[in-house]
Structure 1
Amino acid sequence: MFGDAANEAHAHDPYRAYAHVGEHVPAATDSPMLARSQDRGALDALLEINGEWHDKERIAGLMDPNSGGSSIFISPGLRFSLKNWTSYVSLGIPIANHYNGIQATPAWRTLFGISVVFGP
């Protein structure tokens, strides 16, 4: 959660300067920005916690003991928005791996995406 009170009248109140559980959380467009211009786009810094879970595989009705498990990643990244286009990239660094049996565990992962909004 990000505080967004620096330009508001109650910014001098330390309690109101941060988001708290149960209070209104600013929309994603109100997040801290590295750069903002309607003509040049906006660059946002991101920090996510992602999880991934896989069930054990079945081969010919038998459960494979060396399959399935879970990972939790902390993922810093960047998002660039220009008009109705958005692209993002993040680097996932595993902070917890729990796999069944003998399996390779991820050292890191990269996510990249592009989206466009159609309509008014």
Structure 2
Amino acid sequence: MKVLFKRNWLTPDHYRIRVRGKAEVHEVKEEWKDKLPSSAKIVDEAFIIETEIPEVVPETLSEMGNYLAADHERQAVEMAGEIEKAAYDTLKASKEERTKRNRQAGAARAREALAAKKEKDNVKVD
């Protein structure tokens, strides 16, 4: 059966049903029907959570200008977010590259020290 949960719920067999957002529909066993929380609603198979998307139809030219300006602002914010993400990815890649070079340099120094120690041990004093 399908149940609409408004809050997280721990099932009788200790499985956590998490709700992200306002409400979510989850599949639940029939035998748990009497153990459901009071905020849960049993829904039919064809239940769909309706999300309202307001349709904006500007009536005047000034409203249309405001609507388009808001759209440009939204696009500018999205573009700024994309630029910030690209900068973060570049910085992360540069840090990873620097870490890799440091690791390689440390390994090279360790190899040189080991070779020097072996060479020192192989030299016999007469």
Structure index of larger Rg: 2
More strand by share: 1
Same-fold call, TM cutoff 0.5 = no
The bucket for the TM-score relative to the shorter chain is under 0.3
More helix by share: 2
Under a length normalisation based on structure 2, what TM-score does the superposition of the two structures give? Answer: 0.17
Under a length normalisation based on structure 1, what TM-score does the superposition of the two structures give? Answer: 0.18
